[in-house]
């Protein structure tokens, strides 16, 4: 039963070939602690080819489906949803998410307290990764010093981990890939590397934390991987909580390690944070607050933040009418920071509330640091700074982009001459963006003039949100 003061809320999700995620999302929307007759559910489909539109129209006829004839990205898709929305408040949710029962009500509660949250334009929820995780500690008894003469660096190497497999009931294979692909290397690991056969491996630094997803709490979890040590002999302890699960002797020769975790140890499962809002640094790179950290209540306060993750948030329509919609030329990535920066310049504020929770597969329909991902991240950040920022900020960031591009390209060419092949997607992307900016900056000049002329907030307020990270 709805209350008279329950406002109509439009919920928008943008979909592109995400059929496998939609059942979970819409079922979680149906389970919300909010009257269904006061929810306008909109799915904007970016010309999917996996039968998403037909599936939703058949299984969830209460969802308003807006099929587009082309893929207009996250920005264009949501803008189309804005134009069809009827609610005073508009909630955005990624198609690869599910939401807790109080997801809407907790965000809405901020807007209902204007005395405490004056000029609230948007509210974001706590976004955690889809699964709960078992955080295993990998403790080695010895660390070796490795000197790389070509890179002129010294690394502390412990144990080399490769060929990791996770089995947990019938749901080991999921829509966003295998459970193996959802493992999180939280702490104490170097970046992934490739051996001569193209297989991925990682070195631990000192002690490391390996977070393994639990898909089915009714089934035991089995974990297997290959491990070897930089120094020989060596030992590796696998610890969960305060219990030593396995104590292994290692050498330079890879050994296959198998670990079986009984259900009683699932009491150690923890959520891992995807986003508790967005923070920016002095070069206006953005990152999610808390990303990759175990949720231990460190973000359990309602607070004002610079910007919100577009994966899960609620926006006051008045803010959109004032600051404008997403910049469709961005397609995807940084379009949310661009919008919230423009809104801040107009005097609107953004808040984070921890009791509103969404669970997110993350990059369920896109691959992080793919060519398209890298292109849009690099290009859109510079365009955003050009449109919204003060002149010296853009000049500094543009020069840094050019110089770093030259340095990265030089290192890449030197490595090629020495016979070392590297997978560097960013090199052709940097070159492409460099030339495109000669066209894109003049095209966006009028947008910059309008945004900067309409400022109600001084740049020193924006600067106060810059953080070192």
SS (H, E, C) 142-185: CCEEEEECCCCEEEEECEEEEEEEEEECECCEECCEEHHHHCEE
In whole angstroms, how large is the CA radius of gyration of the chain?
24
Count CB atoms within 10 A of the CB of residue 153.
Answer: 9
Instruction: Report the chain's terminal Cα–Cα distance, integer Å.
Output: 47
| CA–CA dist 126, 276 (Å, integer) | 5
Task: Output the pLDDT for position 151.
Answer: 57
* Cβ–Cβ under 8 Å, residues 80 and 48: no
Task: Output the pLDDT for position 4.
Answer: 60
Task: Output the pLDDT for position 169.
Answer: 76
Task: Output the pLDDT for position 363.
Answer: 59
| CA–CA dist 366, 233 (Å, integer) | 42
Q: What are the residues facing 64 on neighbouring strands? A: 42
Task: Output the pLDDT for position 440.
Answer: 96
Task: Output the pLDDT for position 44.
Answer: 98
Residues 6+ apart with CB under 8 A from 80: 44, 66, 68, 72
* Residues in the chain, overall count: 469
Q: Tens place of pLDDT for every residue, the chain, 469 residues? A: 456 689 999 999 999 999 999 999 999 999 999 999 999 999 999 999 999 999 999 999 999 999 999 999 999 999 999 999 999 999 999 999 999 999 999 999 999 987 777 899 999 999 999 999 999 999 999 998 887 665 567 889 999 999 999 999 765 445 556 788 899 999 999 999 888 888 899 999 989 999 999 999 999 999 999 999 999 999 999 999 999 999 999 999 999 999 999 999 999 999 999 999 999 999 999 999 999 999 999 999 999 999 999 999 999 999 999 999 999 999 989 999 999 999 999 999 999 999 999 999 875 445 566 889 999 999 999 999 999 999 999 999 999 999 999 998 898 888 788 777 777 888 999 999 999 999 999 999 999 999 999 999 999 999 999 999 8
Does the predicted model carry a pTM greater than 0.85?
yes
Task: Output the pLDDT for position 178.
Answer: 78
| CA–CA dist 93, 78 (Å, integer) | 10
| CA–CA dist 213, 219 (Å, integer) | 12
Task: Output the pLDDT for position 243.
Answer: 94
């Amino acid at each position: 039963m709805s209350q008279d003061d329950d406002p109509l809320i439009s919920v928008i999700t943008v979909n592109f070939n995400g059929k496998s995620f939609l059942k979970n999302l819409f079922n979680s929307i149906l389970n919300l602690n909010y009257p269904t007759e006061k929810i306008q559910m909109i799915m904007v489909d970016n010309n999917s080819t996996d039968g998403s539109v037909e599936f939703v129209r058949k299984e969830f006829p209460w969802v308003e489906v807006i099929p587009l004839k082309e893929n207009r990205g996250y920005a264009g898709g949501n803008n189309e949803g804005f134009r069809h929305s009827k609610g005073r408040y508009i909630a955005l949710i990624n198609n690869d998410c599910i939401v807790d029962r109080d997801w809407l009500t907790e965000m809405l509660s901020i807007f209902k307290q204007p005395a405490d949250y004056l000029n609230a334009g948007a509210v974001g929820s706590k976004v955690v990764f889809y699964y709960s995780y078992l955080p295993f500690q990998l403790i080695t008894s010895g660390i070796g010093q490795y000197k790389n003469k070509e890179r002129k660096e010294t690394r502390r190497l412990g144990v080399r981990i490769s060929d990791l497999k996770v089995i947990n009931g019938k749901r080991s294979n999921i829509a966003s890939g295998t459970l193996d692909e959802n493992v999180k290397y939280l702490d104490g690991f170097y970046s992934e590397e490739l051996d001569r056969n193209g297989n991925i491996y990682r070195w631990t630094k000192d002690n490391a934390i390996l977070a393994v997803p639990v898909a089915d709490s009714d089934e035991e979890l089995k974990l297997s991987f290959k491990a070897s040590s930089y120094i020989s002999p060596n030992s590796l302890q696998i610890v969960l909580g305060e219990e030593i699960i396995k104590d292994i002797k290692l050498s330079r020769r890879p050994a296959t390690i198998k670990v079986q975790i009984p259900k009683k140890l699932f009491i150690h499962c923890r959520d891992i944070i995807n986003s508790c809002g967005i923070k920016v640094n002095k070069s206006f790179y953005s990152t999610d607050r808390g990303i990759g950290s175990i949720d231990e209540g460190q973000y359990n306060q309602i607070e004002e933040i610079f910007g919100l993750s577009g994966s899960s948030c609620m926006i006051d329509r008045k803010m959109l009418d004032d600051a404008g919609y997403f910049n469709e030329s961005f397609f995807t990535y940084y379009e949310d920071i661009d919008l919230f920066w423009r809104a801040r310049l107009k005097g609107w504020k953004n808040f984070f509330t921890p009791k509103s929770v969404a669970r997110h597969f993350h990059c369920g329909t896109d691959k992080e640091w793919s060519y398209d991902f890298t292109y849009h991240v690099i290009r859109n950040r510079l365009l955003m700074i050009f449109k919204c920022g003060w002149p010296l900020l853009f000049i500094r960031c543009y020069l840094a982009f050019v110089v770093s591009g030259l340095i990265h390209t030089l290192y890449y060419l030197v490595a090629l001459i020495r016979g070392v092949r590297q997978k560097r997607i960013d090199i052709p992307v940097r070159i492409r963006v460099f030339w495109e900016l000669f066209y894109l900056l003049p095209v966006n000049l009028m947008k910059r003039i309008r945004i900067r002329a309409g400022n109600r907030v001084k740049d020193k307020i924006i600067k106060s949100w810059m953080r070192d990270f």
